[in-house]
Structure 1
């Protein structure tokens, strides 16, 4: 645990609206949602119905949000939700969801119904940010009357379908910037002391401690291990400060924390975490690991 200064705000004091405005004005566009995400979604019409379920209020023309819905939807099939880009800076979550839709989903479309929302936070994707423009973390905001448009739009759309989810794969990354930028920013925003955790070198999953499904998590880990290495626990037997339940698996109370993985009553839920900054990984390996996580979990469910 350590105190780290941050250039915005007063240490020990919660940010006011002026501090949040100052933070927002420092953000810049670094990549294109239109080219890197929407361009790929446009090529998936043969397998999926491409549905715009809303648009982010910061710029409704620039930031429409889409979900891919199985075009051969059958009411008697399990419904599988895949979400990426809840944290926009976590690139392989977005690109992993798209890669799965492009290359592997066709193997399963006769057995399950898919709902794939590849990029919930397009502004965050473009600015490489954890937060939205209001300095709110979308992945702590999955609850009723959410102040964040990113989770609210998705939850409203899914509620309108009146369906039950069998499984939810929420694709994330843990990066070195969690300690260098996003952790210090969070501590400054909330007026608390910054805590740093040892960033795990490798892939791990987060299950829901209200419904952990350890065998399902194990199947995900086993599939990913064929692609990349699994994160070891630290010397205290923890991963990011949380006790390891089994190899590469920790559990959170997802609903209590407002996490994306906790908003539904899906039977099988996992949040994937890859480490793109590892010397043993690269962007392509991280994308492949996300795809492997989905396929490993699906094969377990269907078996």
Structure 2
């Protein structure tokens, strides 16, 4: 274990208190616009889909309406899929991949499956290119109970009130160099624990819910995405991010028990997608395309398997 890269906030070995969280929060600067990048894009979709505000985040002086896009021609006799992006706001292709799917592909599924797409679950994090919410809490560990923070709670409340039975839930993520350079050191400093450096996989992979991994579904995503971008190889231990490789590009991890977004629903087919945008072998456009391809492959597999 090593504290070589200890985060410059707080005292090594001591968890953060309110003062340290406030110091961290004050250092987070807005770097892009949720309204310009996401809300404006959703406004452009209003004639083709139903755009619903399901909640709002109030982080004075900032206020963020939370939106989901729902199929216009909703048919309760059809299966339903939920696509979520931007649970970690800094993971850009999760947000823009979801928006690209809506603009370019979602209408092709009309009459076959009902769609719900929440493209940016954590807009404060999106604007600041940050993993956490303003209280230094990880949204993707907060989808448990009734939701530990409002980013999770708002979506969970709305989905519970709708009462949809989901066939598919795909949560779109990235694994980035900043995980090693910024977010892992920050997490260990926040929790007062030693930093153990991890290995960032170079390429696309998926994390199936270990509670019910549906391996053939996960493999179908890899088969589709490998035509678009490269798939992450296992490390020297036969693992990706500390999880045993089950098949090329596929690992299984706890989801519901840790409060991950992909585990809060009872969808039969659930996954967390991961791309590596910092690879010299890819580009932002390719990362977005990988997310879109994965979503389409997941929907196609689920519909073919009915």
Q: TM-score range by the shorter chain?
A: over 0.9
Distance in structure 2 (CA, Å) of the matches to 1:60 and 1:166: 39
Q: How far apart, in 2, do the equivalents of 1:57 and 1:164 lie?
A: 30
Distance 2:224 2:47 in 1: 28
- Asked whether 1:261 is paired with 2:273, we answer no
Question: Which residue of structure 2 lines up, in the alignment, with residue 192 of structure 1?
Answer: 193
Q: Report the Cα offset of residue 59 of structure 1.
A: 4.4
Paired position in structure 1 for 2:212: 211
Tell me how far apart the structure 2 counterparts of residues 300 and 118 of structure 1 sit (CA, whole Å).
Answer: 22
- The aligned counterpart of 1:142 is 143
Structure 1: where are the runs of 5+ without partners? none
RMSD: 1.0
User: Which whole-Å CA distance do the structure 2 matches of 1:157 and 1:222 have between them?
Assistant: 33
Give the paired residue count: 303
Q: How does 1:15-94 map to 2 (within 5 A)?
A: 15-59=16-60, 62-94=63-95
Structure 2 SS opposite 1:201: coil
For the 8 Å contact 2:203–2:229, the answer to whether it is kept is yes
Query: How far, CA to CA, are the matches of 2:303 and 2:238 in structure 1?
Result: 32
Match of 1:124 in 2: 125
Check whether the contact 1:121–1:150 (CA below 8 A) recurs between aligned residues. Answer: yes
Kept in 1, the 8 Å contact 2:147–2:156? The answer is no
**Contact 2:87-2:122 at 8 Å conserved across structures:** yes
Q: What are structure 2's unaligned runs of at least 5 residues?
A: none
SS of structure 1 residue aligned to 2:151: helix
CA contact (8 A) 1:141 1:258 kept: yes
**Runs of 4+ with >6 A deviation:** none
The equivalent of 2:13 in structure 1 is 12
Give the whole-Å Cα distance in 2 for the aligned partners of 1:102 and 1:5.
Answer: 42
CA distance in 1, matches of 2:290, 2:244: 23
1:133 aligns with 2:134: yes
TM-score between both structures, scaled by the size of structure 2: 0.97
- For residues 71 and 86 of structure 1, the distance between their equivalents in structure 2, rounded to whole angstroms, comes to 24
TM-score, length of structure 1 as denominator length: 0.98
What is the rounded CA distance, in whole Å, between the counterparts of 2:117 and 2:151 in structure 1? 15
Q: Structure 1: how far apart are the matches of 2:201 and 2:216?
A: 22
Structure 2 SS opposite 1:62? strand
Q: CA deviation at 1:146?
A: 2.7
Partner of 2:276: 275
1:240-286 CA distance string (max 9 Å, x none): 11111111011111011110011111000010000000001110000
1:57 Cα deviation after fit: 2.1
- Shift in Å, 1:2: 2.9
